[in-house]
Structure formats: structure tokens, C-alpha cells
Amino acid sequence: MIDDSWYRSVTGFAQTLPWLSGPAVAFSEYAIFLIFPAFLAIGWWLRTRGVDTAARVLWVPCAVVLAYGVDWLLKITIAEPRPCRALAGVHPLLPCDAPTVYSFPSNHTVAVAAFAAAVFLVRRRWGVYATIFAVLVGFSRVYIGAHYPHDVLGGAAVGTAIAFLGVPLHPYLVAFSRRAVDAFGSRVAARRATPEDPGMDMAVEETEEERS
């Protein structure tokens, strides 16, 4: 199969660069955790934005969690063995996972693809950077021998599709965010309001140009 040939070519190339093995494994296994500080940074930026933007930011972690759940269901349903167990004569950079740790789709790729696509809905420029990050993570999963190329492509498709559910769901997310902001604002106003300080100023909504 072509996919098997690509897998062997990429992992064979990895064997010719032993100095890169450690950094490649570390990046492939742990770069996914960079999602969390990135989301915190986006949340910090959100504090000066309005409800519409808040709804888009709220969808980012929701998309990642939902995509990861769909990935898990697909894995246990399809139950495709890892390439290191299905192909003879391959040498991944990591020890082969247990037989019950399945291959399709790549959960790392699903998560970073969902993150990148959801961030694109918040701010397109950031989405481009996040997409480059997702592509690097996806390629690294093949490079270290953990996945076939089709595992990564399938994971990217699943993650992106789940993230773009945020488009039809946006009105509901806006309504939820508005209720949350109103409830929070009411509580703060009740504690802090004085004749000179009647409450919180409303955040200014972001224009379409600012999201690009």
C-alpha cells in the first residue's frame, strides 16, 4: 500500500538523523500541552473584548474536548493496530504501544487540528500560526513511527470538522456568553457600585477586520 510505503520512507529517514530523535520524540509527545498556555493567553486577551468574541473563545476548549471524545470513539470502533505491530521490519523511535492502543485516527492530531481551526474562528491570523503548529505535530507523529499518514490526515479532518461546528453553534454560544457576562456583571456591580461608580463598562465588540 502507498500509505505503508510513505510510513516506511518517513521512519527510515528518521533513522538517518539520530541526533534529531530525542527532540522529535519530545516535541511529538508533549507539544500538545502547549494548547493550555495558548488558551490562557487568548483568555487574557479576551478580557477587553465583547460577548461575540467571548463566545468564539469559549468554543476553543469545547472543540478540543469534543474532538478528543469523537477520536476515542473512532479508535475503539475501528480498532486499527499501530503500524509498529502491523508492519514487519519497521523501527519507530518509540517503543510500540500495547495492542489495545489503536492507531486511527491520531489523537494528538485531532486535538491540535481542533485547536487550530477553533482559533481560526477567533482570529484568522492566529489560526494560521496554530495550523502551522498542528501540521508540525501531525508530521511528527509519522516521523517518530507512532502513526500511519492516513491516521494523521484522518485526525486532521475530524478535528477540523468538529471545530467548524462552532459556526452553526455560534448564536447559542453568544447567548450563553451574554447570560454569563450579565450574571457576572450584576454580581460585581452589586458589590462595587457607588453613586460615582455605577458598575462595569461594556466591552467593545470586535470588527470583522480586527478578526483577520
| Model confidence at 166: pLDDT above 90 | no
Identify which has the larger pLDDT, 53 or 156.
156
* Within-domain flag for 103: yes
| Model confidence at 173: pLDDT above 60 | yes
- State residue 66's pLDDT score: 94
27-31 own/partner pairs: CB under 8 Å, 24+ apart: 27/136, 27/137, 27/140, 28/108, 28/137, 28/140, 28/141, 28/143, 28/144, 28/146, 29/94, 29/144, 31/112, 31/133, 31/136, 31/137, 31/140
Average pLDDT over residues 172-195: 60
Residue 143 maps to which CATH number? 1.20.144
Average model confidence (pLDDT) across the chain? 83
* Within-domain flag for 14: yes
Most confident of 42-46, 178-182, 189-193: 42-46
| Model confidence at 42: pLDDT above 90 | no
- E strands of 37-81, at which residues? none
What's the grid cell of residue 185?
A: 456583571
* Within-domain flag for 87: yes
* Within-domain flag for 176: yes
* Within-domain flag for 201: no
Query: What is the tally of structural domains in the chain?
Result: 1
Domain limits for position 67: 2-191
- Degrees to nearest 5, angle at CA 176 with 41 and 124: 40
* Within-domain flag for 58: yes
Mean pLDDT is lowest, of 22-36, 93-107, 143-157, 178-192, for 178-192
| Model confidence at 198: pLDDT above 70 | no
* Within-domain flag for 203: no
* Within-domain flag for 7: yes
Average pLDDT over residues 112-139: 94
- State residue 71's pLDDT score: 94
